[in-house]
Structure 1
Amino acid sequence: MILHTTICGEGLPLLLLHSGGMTGETEYDEQSVYFSQRNYKVIRPDLRGHGQSGRLSGDYFDYCAEDIIETLDYLEIKSCHVAGVSLGGLTALIFANQFPERVRSLTFTGIFPEKKQNREDQLKEEEENLTSLSNDPETVSYLNTIHVNNDWRALFKSWTAPNWYPFHETSNVASLACPTLCIAGDGLSDEIEAAITFRKLNSSIQLAIIPFANHLVHREQPSLYTETLNLFLQEVDNSQKRQSR
């Protein structure tokens, strides 16, 4: 499926994948402005089941990487930098695992490599939080506005299924071939632990811990997140230039 996509800037393609419940147009605003002014072509799709992309599926992650490929092929983009947070981070990692030749670099935030023993408690808490959001009139109005082609309530419900999270994919980082950066906020110990575990699974993964931030680092500390991502991308691009000489 070709995803509804927002594009700005010209230069090396940079694919930014939004968190769950958001869209390409509602996320990564600061980063989009920054990188589009620095010789990057910033690509922000609505992931499956979000915004104007449509077609929420039961086996969600089986199709996400294929959606990205079809979208990049449609845009005639052979390879790109990829960065994603939360749901977007999961999609980014799965895409890099399945189509490594299309990925110049990978950056992910807010995802986990292993299932915790308290997973059931986490799902229950997640369900309570989503129910609260679904009963808030202001939130409901906003979600109805941005998800014009989708049932966001069905989307929320899908996240609470026992086997929804693709741990079989997130634990599979040992063979990642592309330069990879894991960013975490210092406010959540479980996400710091997850970042360290990723590093243990693949010693070439670079880590960045952003102060005064939690799950959505790119929103809570947009300048620090952007500068960290830019530093990483510049290093990758310069290294690849040297190798091509």
Structure 2
Amino acid sequence: MILHTNICGDGDPLILIHSGGMTGLTEFQEQNEYFSTRNFKVIRPDLRGHGKSVGKIDNYFTNCVTDLNDTLEFLKVEKCHIAGVSLGGITALLFAKSFPNKVKSLSFSGVFPVEPNNWAELLREEAEHYEHLFNNKEAVSFLNEIHGKNDWKTLLQSFNDDDFYPFDKTGDVSSLNIPTLCIVGEKQKLEVSAAITYKRLNSNINISVVPFAGHLVHRDQPDLYSQILGTFLSNNTMAKAVHTAK
């Protein structure tokens, strides 16, 4: 399935993948402005079930990876940088593992390599959050508007299914040799621990802990997130140029 995308700028393709419940247009607005003016073609897709990308939500991440590949082929993007947060972070990681030859660099936030001990409690809290959200008329009106024909309530509830989170895949990173950066907010202790675990599982994975930020680092500290991601991309571009020159 070809995903609806928002494209801005011209240059090296950079895919930015939104979090659950958001869209390519409503997320990464600051980063879109930052990178599209710095020689990047910023591509922000709507994942299936979000925004204007209508699709079934079964086998979610498997289909998301296929969708993203179909979309990049349609856009004639042979190789790209890819960054995602939360739901988008999982998709970015799984895409990079499935199509490493198409990824120049990978960045992700808010992803767990192993199931936290209090996972059941976290899911209960998330379910309660959704119930409050569904009773918020202003929020419901906004989500109805941005998601159009998609059943966003069913989508959000599916995130709490027992078998939804693909820990077996997000934790299998030992063979990942693409330049990789895991960015987390210091307020999320479990995610800081997850970043350290990723570093232990694969020493080539870079980690960055951002102060005064929570789960959605790019929203809490948009300038810092952009600068860190920009430095990561710049360093890997320079390293590749040096390697090529040799």
**TM-score category of the 2 structures, normalised to the smaller one:** over 0.9
- Equivalent positions of 1:139-178 (< 5 A) are 139-178=139-178
Alpha-carbon deviation of 1:56?
2.9
- Deviations along 1:141-191, one digit per CA (max 9) or x if unpaired, are 000000012000110111110010010111011111200000000111111
User: How many residues matched?
Assistant: 245
Unaligned runs of 5+ in 1: none
One-letter identity of the residue aligned with 1:147: H
Aligned to 1:184: 184
- Deviations along 1:91-119, one digit per CA (max 9) or x if unpaired, are 00000010000000000001100012222
Is the 2:6–2:45 Cα contact (8 Å) retained in structure 1?
yes
- Give the root-mean-square deviation of aligned CA atoms: 0.7
- Deviations along 1:108-138, one digit per CA (max 9) or x if unpaired, are 0011000122221111111111111111001
Is the 1:107–1:183 Cα contact (8 Å) retained in structure 2?
yes
Tell me the distance in 1 between the aligned counterparts of 2:215 and 2:229: 16
Tell me the distance in 1 between the aligned counterparts of 2:197 and 2:149: 38
TM-score, scaled to structure 2: 0.98
- Deviations along 1:173-226, one digit per CA (max 9) or x if unpaired, are 111120000000011111100000000000010011100000010000000000
Aligned to 1:83: 83
Q: Residue 64 in 1 paired to residue 64 in 2?
A: yes
Aligned to 2:73: 73
Match of 1:76, SS state, is coil
Aligned to 2:94: 94
Tell me the distance in 1 between the aligned counterparts of 2:57 and 2:220: 31
Tell me the distance in 2 between the aligned counterparts of 1:24 and 1:56: 18
Tell me the distance in 1 between the aligned counterparts of 2:213 and 2:56: 30
Stretches of 4+ aligned residues off by more than 6 angstroms: none
Tell me the distance in 2 between the aligned counterparts of 1:210 and 1:50: 28
Q: Residue 120 in 1 paired to residue 120 in 2?
A: yes
Unaligned runs of 5+ in 2: none
TM-score, scaled to structure 1: 0.99
One-letter identity of the residue aligned with 2:22: M
Match of 1:225, SS state, is helix
